[in-house]
Structure 1
Amino acid sequence: MDAERIMERVRRLLAIANDPAASDNEQRIALEQAQRLMDRHAIEEWQLEEDHDAIEIIRRMIHLEANPCNWYMAELANIVALGNRCRASYGWRRAGNGRNVVCSISIYGARSDVDKTEAIWTAMETSRAAMWRERARTTPRAKANAAWRNGYYRGFQEEIARRYAILRREMESDGAGRELVTVRGSQVDQ
């Protein structure tokens, strides 16, 4: 059987499994058969979606208050976006002192991926800020030392990037994961 015929059979079986008019026994058998076909042919749930090739790519902009740490926030947003099949960019303006300041971050991707990216990035930023404040409070003259703060932020980012790289390698180790990363990545890049 060719791949599209197998996927259509799995879709029909799943429709029976979710049909309230079908008996419990019919639903159970249909679900078991669908799962066996999916396992045998390495079919992932996302591949069964009729419109997985026609995903709407959105842009979400996050505005930032002027802060010298915004460069680190933008870099972390890029790391998290790439780890969640999205892309990130930043907007900047020239501050009164002549320096460039990041004033916004844009995240591009499928709506569900953008929602996840924004939630993870926000949680990481909140965690990073809380941890840095605690470390600065317990370290003499740390708050006044921008190099110490920047080193802390850089170390945090490097650890997050390392962890995402491990996850990406694990996901790409099987064919279906590699296909999902490739398909979604090319959609967002376009």
Structure 2
Amino acid sequence: MPKNYSLRELTIEIIREKELPKKKILEQIRRKSGKSISDKTLNEILMSLLKEREIYITGYDFDVYKGMKRIQSIKAEGIIFGLIKTDPLEIGLLINQLESDDPSLVRNALYELKMIFKKKVDQMKGLLTPEIKMQDTDGIFNKMVFYIKSQSPDQKLVLKNKLAWSLSDEEESAELFEHFINYIKSQK
């Protein structure tokens, strides 16, 4: 077990509770663990979680600049991290947010769904049939969203539920994911 495994799990637990900037994550880890972990240790944990698509960057907290008008550098402390959802119900809620009238809600849901989609593709590498070429994950993802949005309400509901299940970590989701991608790729 890696030496920072408990800190890694604590980081995931903290981010699961609420999306937070790096500065607040570090404060909470120090408080909850009772350890004085370094900024570099947290950076290593966060980068590992980003690389494995366990978390993603959701935004930026400009409060780290304390009212400064002219900003010329990016402080890592302001980067806000969120946990990538893998539960079918949570994914279903994100898919439903694509129908919202609020452009920022749609944009955020689309971004998070794309991260979930890419995570699933990474998990499926080597398991997908040769007919599925996943080099263009963004293109396939966009085609999938457009196709679902263009369907009748009844068909849209069925496709949303299948997509939510296929993107989850539930049993048999991998097989459904492959069928779903094949189906979307076959649509003109």
Fold conserved between structures, TM > 0.5: no
The structure whose residues are more often strand, as a share, is 1
Q: Which TM-score applies when normalising by structure 2?
A: 0.25
Larger Rg: 1
TM-score between the two structures when normalised by the length of structure 1: 0.25
